[in-house]
Amino acid sequence: MARVHESTIINAPIDAVWHILRNFNSHVDWHPAIATSQIENGQPGDTVGAIRNFTLADGGLLREQLIKLDDEAHELAYCLLEAPLPLNGYVATIKLKPVTETGQTFWTWESTFSPPDHRKQELVTLVAKDIYQAGFRALEDYLGGSGPIHASVHNQTEQGASPSPSYQQIRRHDTSSAGPSALGTLTTQAIVMDTHGGPEVLRPRQVDVPAPGPGQVRIRQSFIGVNYIDVYCRTGYFNLIDPPGIPGMEAAGTVESVGEGVTHVQPGDAVAYACAPVGAYTGLRTMEAELVIQLPRWLDPRMAAASLLKGVSAGFLLQDVYALRRDDVAVVHAAAGGVGSMLVQWATALGARVVATVSTPQKAAIAEAHGAYETVIGRGADFVETVMQVSNGRGADVVYDAIGRDTFAQSFEALAIRGHLVSFGQASGPIGEWDIGHFATKSATLSRPNYGHYTETGPMMEQQATRFFKAVEEHMLTLAEPTLYDLGQAAEAHRDLEARRTTGSIVLKV
């Protein structure tokens, strides 16, 4: 067991020092070793149990948990959950006391941990110098002082031992963190389906997640998008899961480690993906790095998980499957849903007149707020009549239909001559058999796009994601707050999605 005990006097009042330290995420503002940091699951930084996920200047990824916060005693404690170095059982405590004669603050920072015997000296010195002493100096500067006026080191290493290398030097020569295989297989909670069927087949289970190999990345996921394609995979309509398997095609989180040859993302980067292969309903995931997109700094991971797949879908539906033009009349079914909401906003921004169909007055209000030219509750004769009124009897240039069986016939009826019917979902069931000759009566075009065919390579995914991010930045799209479920509530989320009890996006929180 090693013990590191550091103390100093800070040239600042105790309230000022405590105000900063009690925010468990504040170290990113003042400690020179910290590159990025965030509190997981959006918790406040002064919540006992909060976990900070942060990266160091050299790319090392760590996770620490706040286990004590005492405002009256000016004391906090935290433990290390993950680190690239063997600081086993690491628990640290920070204590502040006022120096009443001068208005300064006496600060102690101590920890205990169990390093390997052959590395005890270097790891103790690393903690003392690169973490504690550097932190003392940095916080003093941050508060506008002149630097610590006293510092002392007390630990169980031998007196007179030669100085140990810095954190960066240790990392550089540390075989326990030099490559992806060093981190080894990790265990995490996932949602596994042992057979195809209803929502009840989605069950929580602990699974092993391997270290990333060449060209791969392992992601610590924080939010997972739920999409109707997950329902199709669960039921077996889409043959993308051979049970037992993990569903899901969309998630956001932080890079935990990378394999050989990966350069476009590094440990600690905020990333997301929205593509095959399935397997997103899990806390950790290893996958091909080229399919992972680095998130813009302005995009929250929660919103990324809620919107990337839907935004990419809306993008290729509006610009690749059918190139929407200004003044086109476009029909969007399920206009208050995840993809539907995106289609209404984006098509309106491109200058189209959108006729939105929904199932309830509440959903109609959502479609209208997103800019729909006309909104219809229901998808029968009234909807077709409205399309004809908006188009002066000509019909719709394009119909985006994710409903399927219950809307397909009306969608065709609403088309203009040479109109384009885009069937990209079947929430109400398969459309059944249709005589292709019937489409000749309007010289109509029918498309049945497959998401994977627009996102199957890294460059394709990058192109689609970039187009979506640009649309959000240019305010063509406003991202709504998703409906959140815990990962273990995946079955409930699927039930609500299939029953159309939700609007917008659904996200599972890890």
Q: Measured between alpha carbons, how far is 202 from 193 in angstroms, rounded to an integer? A: 5
* Tens-place pLDDT, residues 343-359: 999 999 999 999 999 99
Q: CA distances (Å), 176 to each of 198, 237, 262, 462, in order?
A: 44, 45, 19, 33
* Tens-place pLDDT, residues 238-257: 888 999 999 999 999 999 88
- 490-498 helix and 228-235 helix, angle to the nearest 10 degrees: 100
Q: Where are the domains of the chain?
A: 2-173, 180-309+454-472+481-509, 326-448
Q: pLDDT value at position 101?
A: 67
Return the CATH number of the domain spanning residue range 2-173.
3.30.530.20
- Give me the CATH topology for the region 326-448: Rossmann fold (3.40.50)
- 14-21 helix and 134-142 helix, angle to the nearest 10 degrees: 110
Q: Are strands 151-155 and 34-39 parallel, antiparallel or unpaired?
A: unpaired
**Three-class SS of residue 261?**
coil
* Tens-place pLDDT, residues 294-313: 999 899 999 999 999 999 99
The pTM for the full model equals 0.64
* Tens-place pLDDT, residues 94-151: 999 998 667 889 999 999 999 888 888 888 988 888 888 888 888 888 887 433 333 3
Q: Measured between alpha carbons, how far is 433 from 421 in angstroms, rounded to an integer? A: 16
Q: Using alpha carbons, select from 331, 502, 350 the residue that is nearest to residue 412.
A: 331
262 band by pLDDT with thresholds 50, 70 and 90: very high
Q: Measured between alpha carbons, how far is 479 from 223 in angstroms, rounded to an integer? A: 15
* DSSP string covering 459-493: HHHHHHHHHHHHHHHTTS--PPPPEEEEGGGHHHH
Evaluate whether 305 touches 507 at the Cβ level (below 8 Å): yes
73-100 burial string, b = 16+ CB within 10 Å, else e? ebbbbbbbeebbbebeebebbbbbbbee
Q: pLDDT value at position 380?
A: 73
**From 3.90.180.10, 2.60.40.10, 3.40.50.150, 2.30.30.100, which CATH number describes the 180-309+454-472+481-509 domain?**
3.90.180.10
